[in-house]
Structure 1
Amino acid sequence: MAISFDKALGVHQHTMLIRSQRAELLASNIANADTPGYKAKDIDFASAFKAAKSSQQRGNDMVKTDRNHLSGGSKMTNSDELYRTPNQADTGDGNSVDIQVERNLYVQNALEYQASLQFLSGKFSGLKKALGGQGA
Structure 2
Amino acid sequence: MFQKLDIFQMASGLAKHASTRQEVIAKNIANADTPKYRAQDVASFKETYRGAPTGAAMKSTRASHFHGAQDETTPIKFSDTAGPSSPNGNTVALETEMMKATEVRHQHDLAMSVYKSSMNILRTSIGRR
Bin for the TM-score computed over the shorter chain:
0.7 to 0.9
Deviates more, 1:3-12 or 1:22-31: 3-12
Quick check: 1:41–1:81 contact (8 Å CA) kept in 2? yes
How many residue pairs align between the two structures?
111
Match for residue 49 of structure 2?
A: 49
CA distance in 2, matches of 1:30, 1:18: 18
2:34–2:90 CA contact under 8 A, matched in 1: yes
The one-letter code sitting in structure 1 at the alignment partner of 2:78 is: E
Runs of 4+ in 1 over 6 A off after TM superposition: none
Counterparts of 1:120 and 1:39, CA distance in 2: 35
Shift of 1:102: 0.6
C-alpha separation in 2, matches of 1:99 and 1:39: 13
- Equivalent residue for 1:84, pick from 81, 90, 94: 81
CA distance in 1, matches of 2:106, 2:5: 23
User: By how many angstroms is 1:3 displaced?
Assistant: 4.1
State the match for 1:105 in structure 2. Answer: 100
Q: Normalising to structure 1: TM-score of the pair?
A: 0.71
In 2: Cα distance, 1:18 partner to 1:31 partner: 20
Question: 1:4 & 1:29 partners in 2: Cα distance?
Answer: 34
Q: Structure 1 residues 106, 125: closer, same or farther in 2, change over 3 A?
A: same
What is the CA-CA distance between 1:82 and the residue it aligns to?
A: 0.7
C-alpha contact 1:6 1:56 (8 A) present in aligned 2: no
User: Which consecutive unaligned segments of at least 5 residues does structure 2 have?
Assistant: 57-73
Alpha-carbon distance between aligned partners in 1 of 2:7 and 2:50, rounded to the nearest angstrom: 18
Q: Structure 1 stretches of 5 or more lacking a match?
A: 59-75
* RMSD across aligned positions (CA): 2.1
